[in-house]
Structure 1
């Protein structure tokens, strides 16, 4: 079971709810944004007791009977397996659409997301990790099924929530968005619980079909060679997220050339440029190849295979400076590693 903790993102919301030690109970709250209504599901854990909610007294008791909404070890509230409130529907904070080709999907975030998931009628597939407000992600529908891992909830809680989401789908596909921040204020309980976990989920039933452009490639090599103007011996990485920074990096690439080629065109609204300079080498025969690129959140990992001259090889005796310049998806950090995972250099925006 996940450890009870108070996520940092909830501190502003809980400023008016003093956390007391020894109050004998804990709360896990799910905020469910269905198309027709917004629901709050609150589970209580700990010792039986009474707590106040506004002018109402809640009796927290040992489990009694069975219910599809019950979670093991959770106390019942006034004879029910949870405290459930239903309010008006809210504007969807995210949307997913399907491309005309059928295999393409686009996730559009109007609010920060932790993750997004698709139930295709057979099982759940993970569509995206974290997305920033206003960000879009185009992807090919994954083929591997897995149970959603919702960060704010335990496994038994997740099981109950997913069962309820699927019970309302009516044969439609489902997209589940895990929001990065709650949308409702926490319950004003008296006394305050020892811990208060909150997670918000937005549910979309069915996918509209639109023309969706294929996803951008994982990376594009803009330039690669062995005669950069970079003159330091230690390797170094650069990351550019605007034209001015890119111009500085590009100058390190082409300063030794005549005529100097112009920098390639890059759309910095959704792309970044990363460069790796291996450092000044005494002879030729040194190079590098891009073995692959992976992404996690706002960071990219570029795996490079480094080559060196074999003993006795005939190579130029002139100084060389190997490098590669890549266009990546939009990131704030890039780490260059060798195939064994050893870090060669990294850069941040």
Structure 2
């Protein structure tokens, strides 16, 4: 009996030894801690499966399964998938506000960073710049390749994060001291050959303001008989399926492609329901810009609109997070009807999104005047209406 028990214990110890966690070869772990408008810990696990289908490591209190990487915007070269996802992601702790930023109509920034010696980056939703100082007034931005150089991120990690934050409107990102944030380093088993940490504070909805002492004018809108303007009762508004105000110009009547120019796009319109707004006069265009930039205290200069051209605003309405956008990809006209093809983007599963209510919009200018304006998707279906709707790219 004693020999049998001893043999069983020996066998059990051998089995346990065989199941010990060895992890992948060349194990490295990099993490970025996001605070503020996005509260998430994102962990990249690098390694070599050494010819096996899977491996495992312990991250904090969780044992995770590692396999070959999966297609994902956050997947970077050399990393493994974690429990079927490109990265390991868990919430971060809340922190007190660290950053305040405004941008004025001259393109200068006023920045307050409650953190020592951090770098501050800014994006308007399309391109990135690095500010000339971490705090101060009248700061300028220098165009940069996204978040490269932020904390301890590799270039590929910085590129992936930079791309994830685009199309979410104007936001600023400050580099924090990773040693002082509330989330401690993860315990990793087996011990990795390299462990990198980067902490970032994300400020969404950066406002554009009119600088002190600037002279602002008042736009006087002269009504055109029988027309209405964007949300004001003055020239230029239409909803999908209604007629465009007449402008005294010839109405397009051929089924042909129409050139168009994107004037501006953003994510914080005053319009909170889905609509299509049309302006055929200079005054109406000014009112349309007021709607598009209504949640900001400064509106960029309104472009001049020549006689016989039309400006169309496509407003998606209110959305619960960042990551939504709309852009016009094509235009055609037939029998006085202008049809715009629009692409609506919404955040995919697992996307990094700022936790702020947004109202995406775009303004385009087209030559000619039209009795009706329609907006459709790539399949020719009417653009979805109603707050909270949306379309996956």
Q: Which has the higher contact order (CA 8 A, sep 6+)?
A: 1
More strand by share: 1
TM-score (norm 1): 0.46
Give the TM-score, by structure 2 length. Answer: 0.42
